[in-house]
Amino acid sequence: MISFETIVFYLLAALSVFAAVRVITARNPVHAALFLVLAFCGMAGIWLLLEAEFLAMTLILVYVGAVMVLFLFVVMMLDIDLVQLREGFWRWFPFGVALAAVMVFEMVWVLGNNRTAETGTALVKHDADYSNVKELGRLIYTDYVFPFELAAVLLLIAIVAAIALTLRRRKDSKTQNVAQQVAVKRADRIRIVKVPAEKRGE
Amino acid sequence: MTYLSTLVPAYAEIFLLVMVCAILIVDLFVTDPNRIVTYLLVQLTLLGCALITVSTYQPGVVHLFHNTFVDDMMSDVLKLLSYLAMSMALVYSRHYLMARGLFTGEFMVLALFALLGMMVMISASHFISLYIGLELLSLSLYAMVALQRDSAVATEAAMKYFILGALASGLLLYGMSMLYGATGSLDVNAISAAISHGVENKQLLTFGLVFIVAGLAFKLGAVPFHMWVPDVYHGAPTAMTLIIGSAPKLAAFAFVMRLLVESMQPLMMHWSGMLAILAVLSMALGNISAIAQTNLKRMFAYSTIAHMGFLLLGVLSGNIDGYSSAMFYAVVYVLMSLGGFGMIMLLSRAGFEADNLDDFKGLNQRSPWLAFIMLLLMFSMAGVPPTVGFYAKFSVLQAAVNAGHIPLVVMAVLFSLIGAFYYLRIVKLMYFDAPESHVPISMQPDSSVLISFNGLAVLLLGILPGNLMAVCAVSVQQSLLLH
Amino acid sequence: MMELLQTLEQTGQNLLGPLWLPLWTLIKIVVIVAPIMGSVAYLTLAERKILGFMQVRPGPNRVGYWGLLQPLADGIKLLLKEIIIPSSANKFLFVAAPVLALMPALAAWAVVPFGDGMELANVNAGLLYILAMTSLGVYGIIIAGWASNSKYAFLGALRSAAQIISYELAMGFALVCVLLAAQSMNLGDIVRGQSHGYGLLGWYFIPLFPMFVVYFIAGVAETNRAPFDLAEDEATIVAGFHTEYSGMGFALFFLAEYANMILIAALSSVMFLGGWLPPINIAPFNMIPGLFWMLGKMSFMLFLFLWFRATFPRYRYDQLMRLGWKVFIPLTLVWLVVVAAWMQTPLWLW
């Protein structure tokens, strides 16, 4: 009998595959980005089935919640001319099809092999109080401390690069100096002038 | 033994990282006219790294951080040479960058980060650290190429470099994940052990290997994955091209060694065939396309492709001689490439790039000494006997002959003969043509002294290649046999 | 009460067998969602009343005694209004957006404990789940802004997206401090971690006071409430992302906003104010069921939301971004290190 988990797996897998296909076939880039979000959600679901809840949540939190939002942000502001984008399509089409055919052939050759399915080992089930967050944390700070620290350096490089590439001090920029604004006193802004009363003109 | 003292083999990396962070902060307080302070700090850091690497040298192979880091003689030698290459690159680029307003703290910090990435790649013994090292290097290089924001060419180059680089990383990761699936480990030694014990799913393994080789070829710039090389070399400011074209090749050699040789030696018959195709195509396309170039940077780019073909030829021979000659080739290539790009920067000045072939016309009349150095460099790249380039090519070919790849060797010789044409054309331009411009060459003392040494080193190593070759042979032997 | 529930579960189990679990879960969902919807309705009334009192005017008092039927009237009005879809809008996304806004706002409630053991799902990574769900809320807004094909809506959506992402970071770091203190990501365990003190002295708002403040202010920003309601800044961009919405579409956005407010109130009570725990652990106080303490704390936090709205003028966008990136994020990062170091000393009493 097919277990409930198998059904859920196939549902999520179908959803992910469908969304992934739509990412590349959707005509509108915003739709494509949204389908990518859907694909991420499907994958997060599959990870949950594998009891990798930390990865699943992080996928949602980081990719769906932050990265893709910024992605959408940019895509929405682009003025993309679809006609122009499609111009060279037919010229490269045969080439693409040939490459895809080779890839599919290889994939079928490798993955269609019956032995592949058998080599997979069953998922080790854990108790309810097993926390894979703790396990991950332990691994990151022991076995994988070197790559982990380097990943932090990678982020530092990204910060340095992003700042170096985007920070321009424009001369005509009118940004305010907040510290100055806060430190302002009444006397700097208001001058009370005594206006002598005038007599009504005759 | 305390934890800290177990980290001795990684002291150089740790020192470098600490210094980069310190420089990053110091640079905040340095104004543009005093940028030399940052520069000196960077050079001091490189010197410090070299001292640490030398003083922490210990024979044998040491694994660290749960087998994600390895310290062997090959890594020490390659690291020392990387420091040297990076330091030379910075000396050559200083005036060039100052004239273009690019002599910033970010440039130097990114260069050091790139160096850190190379060091990690050189002494990685785990696929994760290999990959992260590669990304450290690549990310810094992408940013460096894009630093000249107002130049459309540089931005385009950065874009191409970034997108194709990301694609290559994807291929590499995909391949690694398949290898993980097949062998159940990401540790270089464990993978090698698992493969020689026999893996159930051979296809998955070969499939992963194909992706890894494709990713490697992308990063090395071997044909048919070479499209980015000419555009990036041409579009990037010459100083960045120099950095891309020099020290990273050492790291790339180490990368190939760790990935293909150390972890997949039992699969050699599979990958050496793929490398053979890549090598022949690279030598053919690199040498033939280079003839058609009028831009020196573009020409060097195609020549890099051809040289990478030679390097792969050494690796695919699959024996100690082959590996050590490939290492020798990488070192020599870095030396020549430093000289070549250094010369372009030396002849350039504010608002003028000496990167066209015509700019070298009659160089002999303008400066006989520089022309002579350039002659040495070109001879070496072409592989003309008294220079080291000849010996490098010779040893690679010899190893390939010994391994029985006669047809490959014949083709390699043919293509390097074709290649000799465009190198010698520059010599002809320098000595037999009339100069087009008579602007005096502004000889910066530091870079002109360095380029003299660089050129003479090419000659001297060519006459006495024994020591360097012996070092390469011993280090490759040690790091391969003691695993 | 507990025995009653247990007998109920037992009989259900016997009657329906494997179908009982989904049904029971469904019942629990209804028991959680229905009061939330009711609270949303009456929160709007409370808001108008409180704003009224603060501005020395009576507030709504025509529909029903003391205006008590006002939310009902509003609801019926919104239900009956025509739904207008702009002619060049992207129809599917335009309709889907309000649903996408409301869904995560309700889904996040699954792990919130109202009392000891009173939660829909006892998830180990509850804190992560909350963060993941709240981070999805922005999609409703950004899609609404884009699908409306209107400049005002689009500007509102962009503002909101940037704002929510910026404040999510500070919020996340504040919660990491809580995680550190409680050494658990299970919301129930977080509350229990605050119980071994002398009543309210054991609650995390004392050692993590700056984080409490940051979390709550970031929460105000996350829900696009005044003084950070730049996404619907009526003075410059009409009504922001929901400019083009009418009838039920608008109502769903409204529901989502208020449900999110209540969620933030509930979460800050759980994380910092001891959840269902009584403030003083002696006779008259610990007789009262935990649920009431929890609701009381939530009401207090909700009152703060309304108080803010009545008191502070709206921020300018650059000020908002500055506050998020240059004040909150560094502050939370520093406090994270402080807490981590503090916990290693005997001075850590929590």
Per-residue confidence (pLDDT) for residue B18, from 0 to 100: 94
Q: Which CA distances in Å does C338 have to C179, C180, C185?
A: 14, 11, 20
Dist CA B367 CA B441 (whole Å): 8
User: Of B65, B469, B476, B60, which is closest to residue B258 (Cα–Cα)?
Assistant: B476
* pTM, rounded to two decimals: 0.86
**What is the residue type of C20?**
W
Dist CA B209 CA B176 (whole Å): 8
Kindly report the nearest CA distance between residue A143 and chain C, in angstroms. Answer: 22
Residue B475 has pLDDT above 60, yes or no: yes
Residue B65 carries which DSSP code? T
C151, C154, C155, C158 alpha-carbon torsion, rounded to 10°: -160
Q: Are C73 and C63 in contact (CB under 8 A)?
A: yes
Q: Are A60 and A14 in contact (CB under 8 A)?
A: no
Kindly report the nearest CA distance between residue A82 and chain C, in angstroms. Answer: 17
Contact residues, chain A, for B206 at CB < 8 Å: 110
Q: Are A132 and A47 in contact (CB under 8 A)?
A: no
Q: Are B314 and B399 in contact (CB under 8 A)?
A: yes
Structure tokens at A130: 């097993």
Q: Do C142 and A69 touch (CB under 8 A)?
A: yes
Domain residues of chain C, as ranges?
89-342
User: Of B249, B245, B262, B260, which is closest to residue B299 (Cα–Cα)?
Assistant: B245
Residue A202 has pLDDT above 70, yes or no: no
Q: Are B187 and B138 in contact (CB under 8 A)?
A: no
Residue A111 has pLDDT above 70, yes or no: no
Q: Are strands B69-71 and B62-64 parallel, antiparallel or unpaired?
A: antiparallel
Q: Do C124 and A34 touch (CB under 8 A)?
A: no
Residue B6 has pLDDT above 90, yes or no: no
Residue A117 has pLDDT above 50, yes or no: no
| Bond from prior residue into C227 cis (ω within 30 degrees of 0) | yes
CB-based burial of residue B19 (10 Å sphere; 0-12 exposed, 13-18 middle, 19+ buried)? buried
Q: Does C131 touch chain A (CB under 8 A)?
A: yes
Q: Does B136 touch chain A (CB under 8 A)?
A: yes
Q: Does C132 touch chain A (CB under 8 A)?
A: yes
ipTM of model: 0.90
Q: Does B7 touch chain A (CB under 8 A)?
A: no
Task: Map residue B187 onto helix, strand or coil.
Answer: strand
Dist CA B92 CA B451 (whole Å): 8
Q: pLDDT tens, B47-106?
A: 999 999 999 888 888 888 888 898 888 899 999 999 999 999 999 998 888 888 888 888
Categorize the per-residue pLDDT at B141 as very low, low, confident or very high, splitting at 50, 70 and 90. very high
Kindly report the nearest CA distance between residue A54 and chain C, in angstroms. Answer: 7
Q: Do B139 and A110 touch (CB under 8 A)?
A: no
Nearest chain A residue to B119, by CA: A150
Residue B192 has pLDDT above 90, yes or no: no
Q: Do C161 and A73 touch (CB under 8 A)?
A: yes
Q: What stretches of chain A show up as alpha helix (H) in DSSP?
A: 4-25, 29-49, 53-58, 68-77, 82-86, 89-111, 114-119, 132-141, 145-166, 178-182, 186-189
Neighbour subunits, C (≥3 Cβ pairs < 8 A): A
Question: For B468, left (φ over 0), alpha (ψ -120 to 50), or beta?
Answer: alpha
Count A/C contacts: CB-CB distance under 8 Å: 70
Dist CA B423 CA B382 (whole Å): 6
Per-residue confidence (pLDDT) for residue C10, from 0 to 100: 78
Q: Domain spanning A1-80: which CATH class is it, in words? A: mainly alpha
Angle of helix B268-291 relative to helix B202-220, nearest 10 degrees?
Answer: 20
Q: Does B305 touch chain A (CB under 8 A)?
A: no
Q: Name which of A121-135, B171-185, B347-361 the model is least confident about.
A: A121-135
What backbone torsions phi and psi does residue B187 show, to the nearest 5 degrees? -80, 130
Residue A156 has pLDDT above 90, yes or no: yes
Question: For C332, left (φ over 0), alpha (ψ -120 to 50), or beta?
Answer: alpha
Contact residues, chain B, for A109 at CB < 8 Å: 203
Q: Name which of A98-107, B122-131, C264-273 the model is least confident about.
A: A98-107
Nearest chain C residue to A55, by CA: C128
Q: Are C138 and C160 in contact (CB under 8 A)?
A: yes
Q: Which CA distances in Å does C271 have to B319, B374, C194, C265, C337?
A: 63, 70, 9, 10, 19
Dist CA C240 CA C101 (whole Å): 15
Q: Residue B356 forms beta bridges with which residues?
A: B295
Per-residue confidence (pLDDT) for residue C2, from 0 to 100: 64
Q: pLDDT tens, B401-448?
A: 988 889 999 999 999 888 888 898 889 888 988 888 777 777 788 888
Dist CA B76 CA B10 (whole Å): 11
Domain span holding position B328: 3-481
Neighbour subunits, A (≥3 Cβ pairs < 8 A): B, C
Contact residues, chain C, for A57 at CB < 8 Å: 125, 128-129, 131-132
What backbone torsions phi and psi does residue B147 show, to the nearest 5 degrees? -60, -30
Q: pLDDT tens, C5-35?
A: 778 777 877 777 777 777 888 888 888 888 8
Q: Which helix (H) or strand (E) holds B62?
A: strand B62-64
Contact residues, chain A, for C138 at CB < 8 Å: 65, 69
Residue A116 has pLDDT above 70, yes or no: no
Out of C135, C142, C322, closest to residue A66 by CB: C135
Q: Does B116 touch chain A (CB under 8 A)?
A: yes
Residue A115 has pLDDT above 70, yes or no: no
Residue C287 has pLDDT above 80, yes or no: no
Q: pLDDT tens, C298-332?
A: 899 999 988 988 888 888 888 888 888 888 999 99
Q: pLDDT tens, A2-38?
A: 677 888 888 999 999 999 888 888 878 888 888 998 9
Per-residue confidence (pLDDT) for residue A121, from 0 to 100: 58
Kindly report the nearest CA distance between residue A61 and chain C, in angstroms. Answer: 4
Q: What stretches of chain C show up as alpha helix (H) in DSSP?
A: 2-16, 20-54, 70-80, 91-107, 126-147, 151-182, 187-193, 209-222, 234-237, 247-272, 283-287, 290-311, 317-322, 329-342
Per-residue confidence (pLDDT) for residue B42, from 0 to 100: 93
Count A/B contacts: CB-CB distance under 8 Å: 83
Out of A145, A154, A164, closest to residue B139 by CB: A154
Dist CA B150 CA B146 (whole Å): 9
Residue B342 has pLDDT above 70, yes or no: yes
Percent of chain B predicted with pLDDT > 70: 99
Task: Map residue B63 onto helix, strand or coil.
Answer: strand
A171: which residues sit within 8 A by CB, 6+ positions away? none
CB atoms within 10 A of CB B74: 28
Contact residues, chain A, for B132 at CB < 8 Å: 147, 150-151, 154
Q: Do A157 and B136 touch (CB under 8 A)?
A: yes
Out of A30, A60, A131, closest to residue C132 by CB: A60
Kindly report the nearest CA distance between residue A35 and chain B, in angstroms. Answer: 21
Categorize the per-residue pLDDT at B268 as very low, low, confident or very high, splitting at 50, 70 and 90. confident
Per-residue confidence (pLDDT) for residue A148, from 0 to 100: 92
Per-residue confidence (pLDDT) for residue A87, from 0 to 100: 66
Dist CA B189 CA B171 (whole Å): 22
Nearest chain A residue to C157, by CA: A73
Domain residues of chain A, as ranges?
1-80, 127-158
- Touch between A and B (at least 3 CB pairs under 8 Å): yes
Kindly report the nearest CA distance between residue C301 and chain A, in angstroms. Answer: 25
Task: Map residue B69 onto helix, strand or coil.
Answer: strand
Q: Which helix (H) or strand (E) holds B71?
A: strand B69-71
Q: Does B286 touch chain A (CB under 8 A)?
A: no
Q: Do B201 and A119 touch (CB under 8 A)?
A: yes
Interface test with A, best of C90, C122, C163, C165 (most A CBs within 10 A): C165
Residue B360 carries which DSSP code? G
What backbone torsions phi and psi does residue B253 show, to the nearest 5 degrees? -60, -45
